[in-house]
Amino acid sequence: MLKSGVLGCSVFLLLLVGGRGQKSEMLASPGDEPLFRGSDQYDFSIVVPASGLQCLWHFAHQSGRFYFNYEVQWVTGIGKDRHISATVNSPRGLILGSSQEVRGQINFHTQETGFYQICLNNFHNRFGNMQVFLNFGVYYDGYEEMQQQKDEERKHLNDTLATIEASTVKVQSYVFHMWRYYNFARMRKGADFYLLLSNYSYVTWWSAAQSLVIVAAGYLQLHFLKRLFHTRSTTDTNKPRC
């Protein structure tokens, strides 16, 4: 789960930047290190209450690639509608992508630096909660090459070591994308697992109810059949009449 401290810090920073939604990168003062442009990602589950709205904020620089995947794992209530409304808004409040399916993904290029808002709206279920698995983050093309050039300038490495570093950077990029596909498969597996538990519980309780109905019906049938063959004992004072 996302730690409350990280979320609180994100909200605090969001209040600081307000609605300015700057387009360009923030300038660093002379002598300061440039902004970190590495990739960061999160995956966790969140419970959205009935007719509720849950929003998260994720910071991203411009010229990045933002991705957001989600999967509804389980739903409570009577209707059990598994559809959910998911939207991603820019720092200016513009809707960059939306989805109203059981599972979906939203991908786009970040055009401005700031906090991007991810919202989940459970208006389809007015009487039931739902648990949604989230996988989102941002990565930047070209960051590895920039970092490699800086390392070459500082360390003056030879061609052989530079080739090894370039291959390592490519492998890291491939591993990162494999991790994304793995999380998407894990979302599907989690949803199937909760669906299996729900079906198992449904079959168990329905079988128990049918067994009780069968036993009760057999008892009632036996009771009425015994009443059909019930005879009274005859005595001198109590004799059967026509």
Q: Using pLDDT thresholds of 50, 70 and 90, give the confidence band for residue 32.
A: very low
Q: Residue 28 phi/psi, 5° resolution?
A: -90, 145
Q: What tens digit of pLDDT does each residue of 169-185 get?
A: 778 777 777 777 777 77
* 3-class SS of residue 8: helix
Cβ-proximal residues to 100 (8 Å cutoff; 6+ apart), any chain:
83, 84, 85, 86
Q: Which residue has the higher pLDDT, 152 or 112?
A: 112
pLDDT band with cut points at 50, 70 and 90 for residue 136: very high
Q: Is the pLDDT of residue 89 over 90?
A: yes
Q: What is the pLDDT of residues 121-134, one digit of tens each?
A: 998 888 889 999 99
Q: Is 108:96 a contact under the CB 8 Å cutoff?
A: yes
Rounded distance, CA 187 to CA 44, Å? 10
* Highest averaged pLDDT of the listed ranges 9-13, 74-78, 112-116, 159-163: 112-116
Q: Does domain 4-18+38-193 have CATH number 2.60.120.380?
A: yes
Residue pLDDT, tens place only, 90-99: 999 999 999 9
Segment 19-27 shows an average pLDDT of 38
Nearest to 87 by CA among 54, 124, 45: 54
- Predicted confidence band of residue 159 (pLDDT cuts 50, 70, 90): low
Name the token pair of 124: 């389809």
**pTM of the predicted model as reported, rounded to 2 decimal places:** 0.55
pLDDT in the model for residue 219: 85
Q: Which DSSP category does 52 fall into?
A: -
Strands in 95-99's sheet, in edge-to-edge order, are 53-60, 114-121, 85-89, 95-99
Q: What is the average pLDDT score of the chain?
A: 75
Q: What is the mean pLDDT of residues 215-219?
A: 88
